Amino acid sequence: MNENIDSTLRETLDALYYNESRRVLATLIRLLGDFDLAEDAMHDAFAIALTQWQRDGVPTNPRAWLVSTGRFKAIDRMRRQTRFGTSWEDEQIFEASSMEATDVEDETIEDDRLRLIFTCCHPSISLDAQVALTLRELCNLTTEEVAHAFLNAPATIAQRIVRAKSKIRNANIPYEVPEVEDLPNRLEAVLKVIYLVFNEGYSASTGSELMRHDLSGEAIRLGRLLIELLPEESEALGLLALMLLHDSRRAARAAPNGDLVLLDEQDRSLWNHEQIAEGSELTKKALSSGNFGSYTLQAAIAAVHAEASNTNQIDWAEIVGLYDLLLHANQSPVAELNRAVAVAMRDGPEAGLALVDDLLSRGELNKYHLTYAAQADFYRKLGKIEQAKVAYQYALNLTRQEPERRFLNRRLAELKN
């Protein structure tokens, strides 16, 4: 990379890539009709911007400029390829990209992300592949981060993504939001995608930061778009409520130095009470439908936490009861782990430890760092210091996020003193 490039321009482009690259990519996928070609075109556009903006200045609408430049770069590449003989499919891509060459308005770019989710979540693609592809392409998660979200191996996720792209290309899956009557059949995967995007933003799987606000904010925005499409869909309401209630704690979840602050130690005056009020109302609306599922029940649990004036006022019996309903609706080992923590708060650490030990004995979540962190905390509260040290070390070995690593190291240091 040219060392003479102005540092301010580098910072501008870095910020644009961080905040806008997925919007640019979504539009290029629509215009070019191919995931890999669009990704190459996007990177070409950012590379050209690095030198051209140094000479001409940053354009008034950088995002539209990047889309336009990337598209024309891809068209130019395809034209060169046609001179040396390309397949019929490549010609079709070239024709499609040329016909839609003027469609780069901002409003269209905004819509493209929702189109991309529904394209990735087409019913002809397996559910796991739908989610993996969308997380990779729409949210720019690495294959390793997607694998963490699935508690799966990166190689497995990479294969799913490749197969999903091939399916979309070979089956000519349309790049569009389905008609209203077809939306319910596509909703499960879309909700799961948005949920996993939010989770990665709420607690990043890797890196130096506890949270990725860009991802949690994007998930909430997409949740609102879904509500516009399906205003009476209880699980869409429940998911948006859940995200708002969790996100309301954002300002209190990390200390000024970036360290993790546990829920019972958070300054509740820093919580966003407008978000809590909106999330609570959405939860009530979803519950009142009588036809709700796991997202609404998780929102109800979050609402019990959010509406308590302090930790001592939390109704742990109600939370355990809601987890029982949640597990009946959706048997999930992570929900079982969370229930174990709630049971420990209601009945004591020994009861919680028995449930976590049972999870581990079944081979459930034995590569999930929070399982061992919970186990270690129960051991610590029971005065079983050596067992707590071992469990904290297991958790430390499994986590790749720096604030969590610092927290676990502090816990270990406290036990050694």
SS3 at position 5: coil
Residue that is last in its domain, among 77, 103, 129: 103
388 or 226, greater pLDDT: 388
User: Residues 198-214: pLDDT tens digits?
Assistant: 998 898 877 788 888 87
Query: Within this chain, do residues 114 and 76 fall inside the same structural domain, yes or no?
Result: no
Is residue 325 in a domain?
A: no
HEC assignment per residue over 89-119: HHHHHHHHHHHCCCCCCHHHHHHHHHHHHHH
Query: Within this chain, do residues 96 and 181 fall inside the same structural domain, yes or no?
Result: no
CB-side neighbour CA atoms (13 Å) of 123: 8
Query: Within this chain, do residues 126 and 227 fall inside the same structural domain, yes or no?
Result: yes
How many structural domains is the chain composed of? 2
Least confident of 53-57, 204-208, 217-221: 204-208
DSSP-derived secondary structure for 161-206: HHHHHHHHHHTT---SPPPGGGHHHHHHHHHHHHHHHHHHHHS-SE
Nearest one of 139, 104, 293, 146 to 216, comparing CA atoms: 139
| Cβ(342)–Cβ(318) below 8 Å | no
Is residue 40 in a domain?
A: yes
| Cβ(411)–Cβ(369) below 8 Å | no
Query: Within this chain, do residues 179 and 121 fall inside the same structural domain, yes or no?
Result: yes
Residue that is last in its domain, among 73, 103, 133: 103
Q: What is the mean pLDDT of residues 162-178?
A: 87
Query: Within this chain, do residues 94 and 122 fall inside the same structural domain, yes or no?
Result: no
Residue that is last in its domain, among 211, 231, 251: 231
Please tell me the distance from the alpha carbon of residue 75 to that of residue 60, in angstroms, as a whole number: 24
In this prediction, residue 172 has a pLDDT band, given cuts at 50, 70 and 90, of confident
Nearest one of 34, 63, 311, 357 to 165, comparing CA atoms: 34
| Cβ(251)–Cβ(267) below 8 Å | no
Tokens of 132: 């993996």
Is residue 394 in a domain?
A: no
Query: Within this chain, do residues 93 and 4 fall inside the same structural domain, yes or no?
Result: yes
Q: What is the DSSP letter of 208?
A: S
User: Residues 353-405: pLDDT tens digits?
Assistant: 999 999 999 998 999 999 999 999 999 999 999 999 999 999 999 998 999 99
In this prediction, residue 53 has a pLDDT band, given cuts at 50, 70 and 90, of very high
Is residue 254 in a domain?
A: no
What pLDDT is stored for residue 83 in this prediction? Answer: 59
Least confident of 13-17, 57-61, 93-97: 93-97
Query: Within this chain, do residues 71 and 98 fall inside the same structural domain, yes or no?
Result: yes
Query: Within this chain, do residues 225 and 212 fall inside the same structural domain, yes or no?
Result: yes
Q: What is the pTM of this model?
A: 0.76
Is residue 134 in a domain?
A: yes
DSSP-derived secondary structure for 76-90: HHHHHHHHT---HHH
Query: Within this chain, do residues 96 and 122 fall inside the same structural domain, yes or no?
Result: no
Please tell me the distance from the alpha carbon of residue 335 to that of residue 252, in angstroms, as a whole number: 24
DSSP-derived secondary structure for 267-321: -GGGS-HHHHHHHHHHHHHHHHTS---HHHHHHHHHHHHHHSSSGGG--HHHHHH
pLDDT at 158 over 70: yes
CA separation, residue 237 to residues 224, 233, 243, 327 (Å): 9, 6, 10, 20
Query: Within this chain, do residues 179 and 223 fall inside the same structural domain, yes or no?
Result: yes
User: Residues 285-336: pLDDT tens digits?
Assistant: 999 998 899 999 999 999 999 999 888 899 999 999 999 999 999 899 999 9
Query: Within this chain, do residues 76 and 110 fall inside the same structural domain, yes or no?
Result: no
Q: Which range marks the domain in which residue 76 is found?
A: 1-103
What pLDDT is stored for residue 105 in this prediction? Answer: 52
What whole-number percentage of the chain has pLDDT above 90?
A: 54
* Cβ neighbours for 5, distance < 8 A, ≥ 6 positions apart: 50, 51, 54
Q: What is the mean pLDDT of residues 206-228?
A: 85
Nearest one of 310, 307, 313, 312 to 248, comparing CA atoms: 307
Is residue 345 in a domain?
A: no
Is residue 360 in a domain?
A: no
User: Residues 132-142: pLDDT tens digits?
Assistant: 888 888 777 78
| Phi, psi at 150, each rounded to 5° | -90, -10
- Rounded mean pLDDT of the chain? 87
DSSP-derived secondary structure for 210-274: S--HHHHHHHHHHHHHHHHH-TT-HHHHHHHHHHHHHHTTGGGSB-TTS-B--GGGS-GGGS-HH
pLDDT at 263 over 60: yes
Is residue 354 in a domain?
A: no
Query: Within this chain, do residues 75 and 192 fall inside the same structural domain, yes or no?
Result: no
Beta-bridged to residue 254, according to DSSP, are 260
Please tell me the distance from the alpha carbon of residue 383 to that of residue 386, in angstroms, as a whole number: 9
What whole-number percentage of the chain has pLDDT above 70?
A: 90
